[in-house]
Amino acid sequence: MPNPNIYDILKASQAKSLGLNLIYAKRGARIPPRDYRANEQIRIPQVRVIDEEGTQLGVMLTREALQIADERGYDLVEVAPTAKPPVCRLMDFGKFKYEATRKEREARKARRLRPTNELREVRMKTRIGEHDRLSKTRLVKRLLGQGSKVKVSVMFRGREGDHPEIGMTLLRKVAEALVDDAALESAPRFESRRMLSMVLAPTNLPAANERRGERRSEKARA
């Protein structure tokens, strides 16, 4: 009977109970740095071992695997605990945890920069003060920076609806303040007699974040 394919073993044992991602041993293990066993924490009697180069060493006693790891100067890390037998890999455990944490951090950053097409809404009243209007504008900018589209709405009360130009002026000021961060996706229009809205979409997210990074660097040097 042929040896089982290591990729099939790893595919079949994503270890959902431990929150592990799909692992491809020969392409570099990629699992979150949490809830796994290493070295003496591995109590199962037998394991399937993959060496530091991704070569399958086969099934052996756990104590033999630990000895091999020790002789080569690596840690023995259980990467697929639900496989039968569990799959372990030789690796630098400390370096692995550092790299896994760094990759997770970069992935979270990339998700923040990626447009989500989620529609958020920021509302204002016609009698809003200058300070509050600027605060609302900063909120819209922050939401745009997270990749969301933003509907900016002005609410009218009573006879305020007789003066739509007040709402148009407010929306124009917001749009002008965000000209470098947003594109006008939907022009101002009345959704009802008491609500005037426009929709802004984020533009050039990577460049905007790069500029913010440059400004932070300049402040640090100062």
In whole angstroms, what is the distance from residue 199 CA to residue 207 CA? 21
The answer, as to whether pTM is greater than 0.75, is no
* Planar angle of CA 205, 149, 160, nearest 5 degrees: 130
- Cis-peptide, bond into residue 33, ω within 30° of zero: no
Residues 74 and 163 in one domain: no
Residues 165 and 97 in one domain: no
Residues 157 and 211 in one domain: yes
Total domains, the chain: 2
Domain with 50, as residue range(s), is 6-111
What is the three-class DSSP state of 153? strand
Q: Using an 8 Å Cβ cutoff, are 119 and 148 in contact?
A: yes
Q: Six-digit token pair at 1? A: 């009977």
Find the CATH number of the domain harbouring 168. Answer: 3.30.110.10
| Mean confidence (pLDDT) of the chain | 78
Find the CATH number of the domain harbouring 20. Answer: 3.10.20.80
Place of tokens 């491809």: 24
Residues 206 and 166 in one domain: yes
Q: What is the pLDDT of residues 72-89, one digit of tens each?
A: 999 999 988 888 899 999
Residues 11 and 91 in one domain: yes
Q: What is the pLDDT of residues 41-83, one digit of tens each?
A: 999 999 999 999 889 999 999 999 999 999 999 999 998 888 8
In whole angstroms, what is the distance from residue 51 CA to residue 110 CA? 32
Residues 125 and 210 in one domain: yes
pLDDT category of residue 196 using cuts at 50, 70 and 90: very high
**Stretch 107-114: mean pLDDT:** 69
Q: What is the pLDDT of residues 151-188, one digit of tens each?
A: 999 999 988 888 889 999 999 999 999 998 899 998 99
Residue 202: phi and psi, rounded to 5, are: -70, 145
